[in-house]
Amino acid sequence: MHILDGSLLLTLAQLIAFVSAANPIGPNPNAKRGLVYIPNKDHPEDDQTWIQPGSPLTWYYNYDTKPSVALTGGATNLQFVPMLWGDYNNTFVQDVKDAIAQGYKIEYVLGFNEPDNPSNGGSGGSGVSPQDAAARWKESIQPLAKLGIKLGAPSPTGAPTGLDWLQSFFDACDGCTFDFIPLHWYGNFDGVASHLGQYTAAFPNMTFWFTEFAFDHQDVEPTQEFFNLTMEYFDRLDNVDRYTYFGSFRSDVSNVGPNAAMLNEKGGLTYIGAWYLDKDETQAASITGKGDAATFGVSTSKLLFMTTTVAAVISWIL
């Protein structure tokens, strides 16, 4: 297996070198673009996709206070951004100090994940009241500012409750400081543009990170169109400092619909996955040597091909 994989990789590497030389889409680190790391315990090999040489990704977060060993070092050396996910007893300040002592370059941390979303709803919210969040913030996050670390506010959902929650939290958290506001968005492009407009109006001098976004549960075409428009928008805007597309998992385990995923069901890059890594769609799936041609981008033509082939075979048999 290993020998076979190795020879396959060499062939692919040569192919990639050829394709990159012929293709102007080049590997440039993108200071804004990062990874929401969602590990797949059945497929740890998928991790390699995110740290391959030439990747534009520059940073990651994993909803956790400690770095992921699988993403440490490598060709890309992604910068780790720790998060205190919710309101619980924790060792966040110490974990961050430990990571710095171990040589991790920690410049930013992230506050609570979707605190306006109930924690018992199964939708990933941490369900914290603005008052409890403020008390926890003062104890577990604010001390990091003294180390020169930039603090990201709690990341509210894209619902109207999000902005209300954040405003109550800012009011409750006297003496607290915030350097940027992380936002989430699930919906279409007009939606994300107006969402950002609303937050920019509410907090004119703030910068924003989009730490989760996708047009979820859509057909391939609108999913990809949203992706294209949003990436161009975020790359261009001065008040969007960083972003992480959601997400970095296989289509068959995606909770935002299969078409939003960056990996197909075999672990190969989808078209969106390829574009996120600054590759063109001819480099989808085959780039990792793990899958067929991207399931999503070419599904219609593949289906057509199969139908045509089956029809031809049937007519031949008859």
Ligand X SMILES: *[C@@H]1O[C@H](CO)[C@@H](O)[C@H](O)[C@H]1NC(C)=O
Instruction: Give the nearest distance from C-beta 73 to ligand X in angstroms.
Output: 30
Residue number, 79 or 140, with CB nearest to ligand X? 140
Residue number, 39 or 143, with CB nearest to ligand X? 143
Binding residue for ligand X, selected from 210, 215, 275, 296, defined by CB under 6 A? 275
Which DSSP string do the residues of 234-297 spell out, in sequence order?
HHH-TTEEEEEES--SBGGG-SS-GGG-SB-TTS-B-HHHHHHTT--GGGTTGGGTSSSS-TTT
> Does position 28 bind ligand X by CB under 6 A?
no
Binding residue for ligand X, selected from 65, 155, 224, 244, defined by CB under 6 A? 224
Instruction: Give the nearest distance from C-beta 23 to ligand X in angstroms.
Output: 12
Helix (H, G, I), strand (E, B) or coil at 69: helix
Helix (H, G, I), strand (E, B) or coil at 129: coil
Binding residue for ligand X, selected from 28, 205, 314, 316, defined by CB under 6 A? 205
Q: With contact defined as beta carbons under 8 Å apart, do 157 and 118 qualify?
A: no
Q: Which amino acid is at 138?
A: K
Residue number, 179 or 225, with CB nearest to ligand X? 225
Instruction: Give the nearest distance from C-beta 221 to ligand X in angstroms.
Output: 6
For helices 160-172 and 130-140, angle between their N-to-C axes, nearest 10 degrees: 50
Distance CA 180, CA 4 (A): 48
Residue number, 228 or 308, with CB nearest to ligand X? 228
Residue number, 5 or 232, with CB nearest to ligand X? 232
Going by C-beta distance under 8 Å and a sequence separation of 6 or more, which residues neighbour residue 143?
93
Instruction: Give the nearest distance from C-beta 4 to ligand X in angstroms.
Output: 32
Contact segment (CB under 6 A) with ligand X among 62-70, 118-126, 134-142, 222-230 equals 222-230
Helix (H, G, I), strand (E, B) or coil at 35: strand
Distance CA 36, CA 236 (A): 21
How many residues bind to ligand X according to rule CB under 6 A? Answer: 9
Using CB under 6 A, list all residues that contact ligand X. Answer: 89, 204-205, 221, 224-225, 228, 275, 281
